[in-house]
């Protein structure tokens, strides 16, 4: 029993609450994300009695605390960002809890996986509005049943929690009960969406701004470009070689060898357009560099695969031209060399086996929409625009400044711990970049620590070049295997459920 309790000691209040909610769902006491039990004496929230409008929300989140952005039907050790955000919207009586994601027309700009963060994620949806005489009363999905969500990857992973009083930030007030909500009246003052949602969210998720949008606006399909950033230490890396390799990504290419194939999507085209790819110093941190990658759309785990290859190029284990080979997938239409004096790249029709980069340093940095499509705004903490002591803790800037200060203290502590260790332990030899001025020559007994990002390394006594490694199956084979296996079983379950529903209606 003591061991079972000890493993939760480092968890934050919000993580513990989320875990309890997940256990309730698993045991059948709460079987769907959209079932919310209101307090004693409160009336059920009837969304149909209030006007609605379509808006976009821009928000940030620290991915280390979550099992990815996308809501998962099966319980996982850490909550998902979508799950936390939707629960907050329900608690604020902004969406219909019975209809789930489908009833509010929920769409997200880009999916981020477990451990990946975002500085400018966007979702679009229909929410309750205070502008009763101006806005539409109905949106798409009225009376819809909860959307079916396919189970996502629930592999557990460690993520630091928030300790002390910080975990309480945003919990000054409980949201009003349905009985306390006034019926919509003619008004020119909209609901303070940013303030209201943030006060029930954990501090690692912050709504930055909201925007009114057109009825046909889609956070996903209206997005014109997405900008990802991957932060890394330049120690032991040839940055000029990495820039050479990154620049070859620009343009329209087939990236099937630089992503993870998701057979549930049954994709047959892996062509994507990269608008820019640069290796740059981080503005306010001279000890870090960043890959700035901007494109119109991205494949599953594409950025992490690209960064893994750039690390191999930076260590001089691979040449920059390996990027050309990985994008040269069609033997019937081989690519010419992209640099004068280089040989024609090899044709690589199936992805070589390699480990993608760590998720921690990856951030969805920014997203772009047509001019006039969005008009971002942030509401005041109070109607008078005066910040009271009570609302100060919910101020977005103050909350994020607190997180930054605590992170800086953790960094300072870790640096002191490292200096203390250096008194008794010598640092390991550095072999990268191979042939570099400060690198030691390789020996037969050398153990290579190849960086994979986020301070993580893959250690090996030997290195096998990428193009000499084993290969995965072809995309066609992966898709067909899933379609005949899990895909067929999924169709059978859906057909059985449809037949049961039809029988119940007859």
Please report, for the domain that includes residue 354, its CATH number. Answer: 3.30.70.660
Domain identity same for 197 and 84: yes
Whether 356 is in a domain gets the answer: yes
Domain identity same for 439 and 458: yes
- Asked if 126 and 137 count as a contact pair (C-beta separation under 8 A), the reply is no
Q: State the pLDDT confidence band at 351, using cuts at 50, 70 and 90.
A: very high
CB atoms within 10 A of CB 45: 21
Q: CB-side exposure of 99: number of CA atoms within 13 Å?
A: 24
pLDDT at 347 over 80: yes
pLDDT at 254 over 50: yes
Q: State the pLDDT confidence band at 47, using cuts at 50, 70 and 90.
A: confident
Chain-centre distance for alpha carbon 48: 32
Using a 10 angstrom Cβ sphere, with 0-12 exposed, 13-18 middle and 19 or more buried, the burial of residue 185 is exposed
Domain identity same for 211 and 230: no
Whether 400 is in a domain gets the answer: no
Whether 34 is in a domain gets the answer: no
Q: Express each pLDDT in 105-135 by its tens digit.
A: 999 998 899 999 999 999 999 999 998 754 5
Whether 485 is in a domain gets the answer: no
Secondary structure element (H or E) that encloses residue 59, with its range: strand 52-61
The CATH code of the domain that includes 93 is: 3.30.70.580
> For residue 323, which of 340, 296, 305 has the smallest C-alpha distance?
305
Whether 419 is in a domain gets the answer: no
Domain identity same for 210 and 319: no
> For residue 379, which of 205, 198, 202 has the smallest C-alpha distance?
198
Peptide bond into 74 cis (omega under 30): no
Distances (CA, A) of 156 to 64, 65, 152, 263, 466: 12, 12, 12, 22, 29
Domain identity same for 123 and 212: yes
Domain identity same for 347 and 198: no
DSSP string for 238-277: -HHHHHHHHHTT-EEEE-GGGS---GGGT----EEEEEEE
Domain identity same for 61 and 126: yes
The β-bridge relationship of strands 117-128 and 362-369 is parallel
Six token digits for residue 482: 């899933």
Domain identity same for 317 and 233: yes
Catalytic residues: 113
Q: Express each pLDDT in 156-176 by its tens digit.
A: 333 333 434 333 333 333 333
The β-bridge relationship of strands 52-61 and 271-282 is unpaired
> pLDDT at position 262, please?
94
> pLDDT at position 39, please?
41
Whether 442 is in a domain gets the answer: yes
Least confident of 16-20, 160-164, 393-397: 160-164
Domain identity same for 338 and 213: no
Secondary structure element (H or E) that encloses residue 368, with its range: strand 362-369
Domain identity same for 361 and 457: yes
Whether 171 is in a domain gets the answer: no
DSSP string for 80-146: -HHHHHHHHHHHTT-S-TTTHHHHTT-EES----TT-EEEEEEEEEEEE-S-TTTS-S--TTTTPPP
Using a 10 angstrom Cβ sphere, with 0-12 exposed, 13-18 middle and 19 or more buried, the burial of residue 184 is middle
Domain identity same for 78 and 209: yes
Chain-centre distance for alpha carbon 152: 14
Q: Is 377 helix (H, G, I), strand (E, B) or coil?
A: strand
Q: Express each pLDDT in 66-98 by its tens digit.
A: 999 998 878 888 999 999 999 999 999 999 988
The β-bridge relationship of strands 362-369 and 223-232 is antiparallel
CB atoms within 10 A of CB 76: 21
Task: Report which DSSP code applies to 179.
Answer: G
CB atoms within 10 A of CB 233: 14
State the Cα–Cα distance between residues 21 and 15, nearest whole angstrom.
10
Domain identity same for 232 and 217: no
Six token digits for residue 204: 């690692």
pTM: 0.81
> pLDDT at position 388, please?
53
Number of domains in the chain: 2
Whether 160 is in a domain gets the answer: no
Q: Express each pLDDT in 274-318 by its tens digit.
A: 999 999 999 989 899 999 999 999 999 999 999 999 999 999 999
Domain encompassing residue 105 = 49-131+190-221
């Amino acid at each position: 029993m003591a061991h079972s309790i000890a493993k939760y000691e480092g968890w934050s209040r919000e993580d513990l609450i989320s875990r309890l909610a997940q256990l309730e769902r698993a045991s059948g006491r709460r079987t769907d994300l959209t079932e919310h039990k209101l307090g004693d004496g409160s009336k059920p929230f009837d969304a149909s009695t209030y006007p609605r409008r379509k808006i976009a929300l821009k928000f940030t989140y620290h991915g280390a605390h979550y099992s990815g952005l996308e809501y998962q039907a099966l319980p996982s050790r850490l909550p998902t960002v979508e799950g936390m955000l939707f629960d907050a919207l329900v608690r604020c009586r902004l969406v219909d809890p019975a209809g789930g994601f489908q009833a509010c027309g929920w769409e997200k700009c880009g999916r981020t996986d477990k451990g990946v963060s975002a500085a400018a994620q966007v979702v679009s949806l229909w929410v309750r509005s205070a502008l009763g005489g101006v806005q539409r009363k109905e949106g798409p999905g009225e009376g819809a049943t909860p959307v079916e969500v396919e189970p996502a990857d629930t592999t557990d992973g460690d993520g630091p929690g928030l300790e002390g009083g910080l975990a309480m930030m945003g919990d000054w007030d409980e949201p009003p009960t349905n009985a306390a909500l006034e019926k919509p009246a003619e008004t020119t003052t909209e609901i303070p969406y940013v303030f209201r949602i943030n006060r029930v969210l954990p501090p690692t998720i912050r709504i930055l701004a909201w925007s009114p949008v057109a009825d046909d606006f889609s956070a996903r399909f209206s997005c014109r470009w997405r900008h990802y950033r991957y932060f890394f230490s330049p120690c032991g890396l040839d940055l000029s070689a990495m820039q050479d390799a990154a620049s070859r990504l620009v343009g329209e290419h087939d990236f099937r060898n630089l992503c993870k194939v998701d057979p549930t999507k049954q994709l047959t085209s892996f062509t994507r357009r990269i608008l820019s790819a640069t290796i740059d110093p981080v503005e306010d941190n001279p000890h870090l560099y960043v890959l700035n990658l901007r494109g119109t759309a991205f494949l599953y785990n594409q950025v992490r695969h690209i960064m893994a290859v750039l690390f191999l190029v930076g260590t001089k284990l691979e040449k920059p031209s390996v990027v050309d080979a990985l994008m040269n997938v069609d033997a019937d239409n081989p690519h010419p060399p992209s640099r004068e004096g280089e040989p024609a790249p090899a044709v690589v029709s199936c992805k070589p086996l390699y480990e993608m980069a760590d998720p921690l340093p990856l951030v969805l940095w920014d997203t772009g929409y047509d001019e006039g499509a969005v008009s971002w705004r942030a509401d005041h903490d109070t109607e008078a625009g005066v910040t009271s002591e009570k609302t100060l803790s919910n101020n977005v800037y103050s909350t994020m400044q607190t997180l930054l200060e605590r992170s800086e203290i953790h960094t300072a502590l870790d640096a002191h711990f490292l200096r203390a260790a250096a008194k008794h332990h010598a640092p390991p030899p550095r072999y990268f970049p191979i042939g570099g001025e400060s690198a030691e020559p390789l020996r037969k007994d050398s153990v290579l620590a190849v960086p994979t990002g986020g301070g993580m390394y893959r250690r090996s006594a030997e290195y096998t070049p990428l193009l000499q490694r084993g290969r995965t199956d072809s995309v066609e084979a992966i898709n067909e295997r899933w379609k005949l296996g899990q895909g067929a079983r999924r169709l059978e379950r859906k057909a059985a459920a449809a037949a049961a529903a039809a029988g119940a209606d007859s």
